[in-house]
Amino acid sequence: MGRVQKKLFDFLAEGKGPGEQEVKAEPTASGLTDLLSFAKAEKPKPPEPKVVSREELASFSPEEPEELGRAFLIDVSYDGERGCARLKLYEPVKKKVYVWYDKTGHKPYCLTDLRPEEVEKLKSVVGHQGFDHLEVVEKTDLLRDRRIRVTKVVAKDPLSIGGRPKGVIRELLKEESRQVLGYEAKVWEAAIKYHECYIYDTGLIPGMPYRISGGKLIPAWEKPKMLEELSRVLEDQPEEIREKALEWASLLECEAPDLRRVAIDIEVYSKVPTRVPNAHEAEEPLICVSLVGSDGLERVLLLRREGLPEGEFRLPEHVRVEFYESEEELLLAVFGALIDYPVVVTFNGDDFDLRYLFHRAERLGFSRKEIPIEPGRDKYSLRYGIHIDLYKLFSITALQVYAFGKKYESVNLDEVGAALLGMRKEEIPKPISELSYAELASYCYRDALITLRLTQFDNDLVMKLAVLLSRISKMPIEDATRLSVSKWIRSFMQFELRRMGALIPNKEDILAEKGATTTTKAVVKGKYMGAIVVKPKPGIHMNVTVLDFASLYPSAIKAWNLSFETVRCPHKECRDNLVPGLPHWVCRKRRGITSLLIGSLRDLRVYWYKPKSKDKSLPEDLRAWYKVIQLVLKVILNASYGVFGADIFEFYCPPVAESTTAIGRHAITSVIEKCSEMGMEVLYGDTDSVFLRGPTEEQIEALIEWAEKELHMDLDIDKVYRYVVFSERKKNYLGVLVDGTVDVKGLLGKKKHVPKFIKDAFKAVVDELTLVKEPEDLKIAKERIKAILREYYQKLKNRQFEPIDLALHVTLGKEPEKYTKTTPQHVKAAKVLELIRPERKLKAGDIISFVKVVPVSVDEVVRRARPSLRPEERKKLADDLRAFVKDKYVDVLPIELATREDVDIDKYVSLLESTFEQILDALGMSFSEVVGLTKLESFML
């Protein structure tokens, strides 16, 4: 059967696994685990550029020490040349990366239900050039709650297991077993990437500190001091949940390293101004590269080009401008930085910057060994450090919504920079290729500067997020910052399953055992019945208290023990433990892995990190760190329910998703019923919260105690309103909190696409509502609101506005040419914009600002846009535009072309009405009455 692979943690000194590490950092280690000891060092002087030759690049490799002090694990990958796992460790004193190669002989593998003697009959498997040996291992089959013996098929390299189109062991096992044995083999754990498999088997925690002693890797973090207090806080929680929460806390309390990094931005010459250079072909020369480092480095590298004007340089004095006579010299300067900085940061570097640098170097004759960039299928990494592509990170929807508060809509450097930093890209007067050296340098430098600043704002929030996500997800930083929240959850679940010796099931195994969906009304048009929303009572209500469940769905998962293996478990004695309103039952005998992991993270956030992040008795830097932790936990917890209802999720289990929402509905319904019993008036219920009119402190306390005892969930005061205005519509309301803050939910006036003119009117109305303190104040406020709306209505009718104030701002979902079936208004405006600025090629993510206008002929639009063109040229453009918009007229214009007289007033009056009808409805008023419209005029709107 061949040799047996070394056991878990054999590579660790003293054989300690996660949760057991108590090895103290060496005295020379930087960054004590006690967060209170953080101290900010003075900003060092900018380093001198690293000058390298092609020969030095070819022979370069990171140091591989036998001894190393405390250093953070930032990457795990497979080294094809060495044939083993390669770890990258960031040492924060010297701010360098070191590598450690696997010493255990760990190899890739998959599992099968075939016995070894059956596998040996499959000649294409045992005769495969990558086949190594077979082992028999025991696993727990959680779906059937039993121990099973499976055969581990071990290979010499990852691509032999999978990763090629055909001829791989995982497929050959199935194919040849049908032919030779008469039935198809079951194969498990064959699609897990090798570096993930290695992390799971060794128990490594990416993002955590280790040290190397005698060539062995040793965990280098201590038990945090707060564990005793946390244990007391969680003493009423189930023991296994509490123990897992303490284990999580050991990882989260450890400080994040200050990663030395450099932001890179490149500019490429293009013969056709509107054409984006092809990064794979890399046919055009590299003309500018900016490098901006966290250590003070600021360099702009320019390629000398014949006849190009120098222009007037206006860069800050400390920016170093360097000219290069050849692309080879320029590339060598860039590559010098790539083998010097532990972290390289780009904005879209996977698809452009690093990709272009790699392929351009190849085209110029550099060998693979002379290029310190490692190309991959989905990402471009580095031989020395790691590459964080901020475009990928800011594109992760969960982060966009929960970590960054939906501050940006489009994921492009200009909008993200403006939203998070207040910094925009530099506008340029002409195409990149026509800029002077000074203009090009300024433009490129600004992009790199914004990219770096995006990793530095809010006390290095993004970098800390990356490290924490890496620790929780058990993924290298490069993966954690590129993949979605469902992949994070999948990874830490697989890590835990491996650690407990359980078989990681295939998605089809779960569906076969649990079934897809119920036949009840819980599924509507292929979707799960969602949260309950109680119809609001329209009007104004004074003294309103909102109670909400702390993390409702994670609470349901924890309290009801929901997991892919516990819902519809195999035990007959559990079948009477039914989910409210569903035919599904839940296991009483075993704690589910999802319930364990999500429940413990939920308790950590609710009982420790969220309150501690607001605890002003703690030092500011500790509170800031806790704020980042609770933010990361919020991101993961908010996605924890939804993933089980998504068929792309590896643990897809519709009964879990159904059960979670059913329990949520049951909880909120039960609370509403209990409120009625207790004599409290429920004004509104929305997903996880109830709005109560004037409850007493005693009533609130009694309700919270009841929820904890009967529902096993935590109910708490979320907000207290001075008053709330409800419209007839669900999820639309306006409230003024006791501190005077206005809280608007779902009302159109707050939405981002609404023109400034309408937003200004909305703000004026809201400001009046904030002045209301007593019911009698409302009569005065209503009269003032009438006056405000009449004023804005008259401004529209009299055209007393600037067109920019009526502009709508909408993001392109794809390139204009790709809209074939329909042509939305913003796409029409985008096409017209391309007429005005032929050098600008619009792409997905660009924001189009346009105005609704009385129809203008296409011929007139072209005449305005390009007055200097010859008649035949204008006719050609007009024909193209007519073909695109499929009409002779356009009813929208980009803000650059629209005049005050073009504006379609009636459409904006309609928009004004639709924005305010919800508020006016709640106030007992109508738009037509407020602005003095006749019934006929109102009908014609």
> pLDDT tens-digit profile of 505-549?
999 999 999 986 654 444 444 455 555 667 888 888 999 999 998
The whole-number average pLDDT for the span 612-632 is 93
What distance in Å separates the CA atoms of residue 383 and residue 341, rounded to the nearest whole number? 11
Closest C-alpha among 635, 636, 638, 641 to residue 656:
641
Task: Classify burial at 936, counting beta carbons within 10 Å of its beta carbon; exposed 0-12, middle 13-18, buried 19 or more.
Answer: exposed
Contact 689, 521 (CB under 8 A): no
What is the rounded distance in angstroms from the CA atom of residue 621 to the CA atom of residue 428?
A: 40
Measured CA to CA, the distance from residue 883 to residue 905 in angstroms comes to 27
CA-CA distance, 9 to 29, in Å (whole number)? 23
pTM, 2 dp: 0.82
Tell me which of 3.40.50.2300, 3.30.420.10, 1.10.10.10, 3.40.50.1370 is the CATH number of domain 261-455.
3.30.420.10
Q: What is the DSSP string of 502-550?
A: B----HHHHHHHH-S--SSTTEETTEE----EEPP--EEEEEEEEEEET
Length of the chain: 941
Tell me: pLDDT of 773 over 50: yes
Q: Give the DSSP H/E element, type plus range, for residue 196.
A: helix 194-202
pLDDT at 229 over 80: yes
CA proximity to 560, closest of 397, 713, 396, 695: 713
* Mean pLDDT calculated for residue range 889-910: 91
Please state the CATH superfamily assignment of the domain spanning residues 1-38+66-222 in this structure.
DNA Polymerase, chain B, domain 1 (3.30.342.10)
- Which ranges of 551-684 would DSSP assign to H, the alpha helix? 552-559, 593-604, 610-613, 620-639, 654-677
Mean pLDDT of 240-244: 98
As its CATH architecture, domain 804-902 has 3-Layer(aba) Sandwich (3.40)
Phi/psi at 388 (5° precision): -105, 120
CA distances from 541 to 164, 681, 683, 703, 744 (A): 64, 11, 8, 21, 15
| Domain residue ranges in the chain | 1-38+66-222, 261-455, 505-734, 747-801+909-940, 804-902
Q: Which of 452, 477, 475 is nearest to 466 (CA)?
A: 477
In this predicted model, which residue has the larger pLDDT, 674 or 835?
A: 674
Task: Fill in the amino acid letter for 222.
Answer: E
Residue type, 632: V
pLDDT tens-digit series, residues 82-141: 999 999 999 999 999 999 999 999 999 999 999 999 999 999 999 999 999 999 999 999
Question: What class has domain 505-734?
Answer: alpha beta
Alpha helices per DSSP H over 840-904: 858-865, 871-885
User: From CA 566, how far away is CA 586, in angstroms rounded?
Assistant: 6
The DSSP bridge pattern shows strands 261-268 and 343-346 to be: parallel
Please compute the mean of the pLDDT values over residues 734-742 and round it to a whole number.
85
* Cα–Cα distance measured from residue 201 to residue 768, given in angstroms and rounded to the nearest whole number: 62
CA atoms within 13 A of residue 476's CA, in its CB half-sphere: 26
Among 41, 44, 42, 47, CA closest to 337:
47
Reported as type and span, the H/E element at residue 479 is helix 477-480
How far is the C-alpha of 699 from the C-alpha of 706, rounded, in Å? 10
d(CA 325, CA 646): 54
Interacting residues of 826 by C-beta distance below 8 A, sequence separation 6+: 808, 810, 811, 812, 848, 850, 892
Under a CB-based contact definition with an 8 Å cutoff, are residues 845 and 412 in contact?
yes
pLDDT at position 752 over 50 = yes
- Is the pLDDT at 749 greater than 90? The verdict is no
Output the pLDDT for position 828: 82
